[in-house]
Amino acid sequence: MKLLIDGDCIAYRAGFATDKSKYAVSIASDNGGTLQYFDDAKTAKECAFSNDGTVWSRKETEPEDKALMLVDVMLGDIRARYPEHKQVVYLSGVGNFRNSIATRASYKGNRSGAPQPAHMRAIRQHLIAQHGAVLSHGEEADDLLGISMSATKDNICVSIDKDLLQVSGVHYDFVKKEETTVNAKEAVLNFYSQVISGDSTDNVPGATGYGPVRAKKVLEGARNSFDCWQAALSVYIKEFGDISGPLFALECARLVYVRRKENEFWNPPEAAKHKVAA
């Protein structure tokens, strides 16, 4: 029995937790003006709006040791909940096969130039050296998690990434501290919902105007994977036509699909034998 831990989520949470932004609001007055200080942007903006003031911000980075301590605390809390399971941490390494698939938009191109936590490199090295983190090659940590989850029902997926809910099994959200069991039917519907709606987090466009809720309505009545795929195709063909529609649907599916087997490359279901089992 293994605890399959999404190290990317752990690393970013610890990193951003130690990158603090401080806010000041400059308010003009007859006495020359005053400054009010805030820890969050929302409150600062509300104050500035109410007083016709100006918001200023400054980033303050806490010590590296604190970031590493947060990593250890998060992993310790997870292990304490599942003491009988062996911990395996996965981190995304170099390369990603999805980069060569994306044509409508650059895969994760919306993250280009986005600031990284100041201690990210040290956190990743700590996860590898102290917690034996496994690096992916040519794929994402999500794929390694999906492959390991599919190997046995006894494994538990630890992440806050909703993409992994397309893989059936036990999932643990270490932030909300909630455990969820995703059955085979739910996993299939979660995947095809993403095929229709895309994934804005990873810059994967889906069909225009379809979010997760509307996408799942399209899938109502589907009896199996084949029906789900046909429903998704109909949405894309309606928007993009008989030629581009199927190509765009296939591209989105291959981008959002989390691998279940090594070197797996998703292909559409060919017949109704692909059941949506309860």
Q: Bridge partners of 180?
A: 171
Domain boundaries 2-13+64-181, CATH class: alpha beta
Dump pLDDT digits (tens) for 183-222: 999 999 999 999 999 999 999 999 999 999 999 999 999 9
Whether 219 and 228 have beta carbons less than 8 Å apart is answered as yes
Task: Name the more confident of 62 and 33.
Answer: 62
Average pLDDT over residues 37-64: 84
pLDDT of residue 270: 83
Q: What is the pLDDT of residue 42?
A: 85
Q: Are 187 and 203 in contact (CB under 8 A)?
A: no
CA dist 165 and 180 (Å) reads 9
54's CB contacts (< 8 A; 6+ apart) are: 25, 26, 48
Q: What is the DSSP letter of 120?
A: H
Burial 107-119 (b: 16+ CB within 10 A, else e): bbeeeeeeeebbb
Q: What's the half-sphere exposure (Cβ side, CA atoms, 13 Å) at 207? A: 31
- Please name the helix (run of DSSP H) or strand (run of DSSP E) that holds residue 50, with its range, or none: helix 41-51
Question: Each residue of 234-247: pLDDT tens digit?
Answer: 999 999 999 999 99
Statement: residue 273 has pLDDT above 60: no
Q: Report helix angle 184-197 to 225-256, nearest 10.
A: 60
Angle at alpha carbon of residue 104, lines to 97 and 246, rounded to 5°: 90
Determine the straight-line distance between the first and last CA of the chain, rounded to whole angstroms: 24
DSSP single-letter state for residue 109 = G
Tens digits of residue pLDDT in 69-93? 999 999 999 999 999 999 999 999 9
Enter the pTM of the model.
0.86
pLDDT exceeds cutoff 70 at 274? no
The CA–CA distances, whole Å, from 148 to 67, 81, 138, 164, 267 equal 28, 20, 17, 12, 20
Residue boundaries of the structural domains of the chain: 2-13+64-181, 20-61, 184-256
- Is pLDDT of 277 > 50? no
The CATH number of the domain covering residues in 184-256: 1.10.150
By the 8 A CB rule, do 223 and 130 touch? no
Helix, strand, coil percent values for the chain (each to nearest 5): 45, 20, 30
Q: What is the DSSP string of 197-260?
A: HEEGGGTEE-STT--HHHHHHHTTT--BHHHHHHHHHHHHHHHHHHHHHHHHHHHHHHHHPPPS
Q: Which amino acid is at 170?
A: V
Our separate counts of H helices and E strands in the chain read 8, 11
Q: What is the pLDDT of residue 276?
A: 47
Instruction: Identify residue 124 by its one-letter amino acid code.
Output: R
> Among 38-47, 156-165, 177-186, 195-204, which is the least confidently predicted range?
38-47
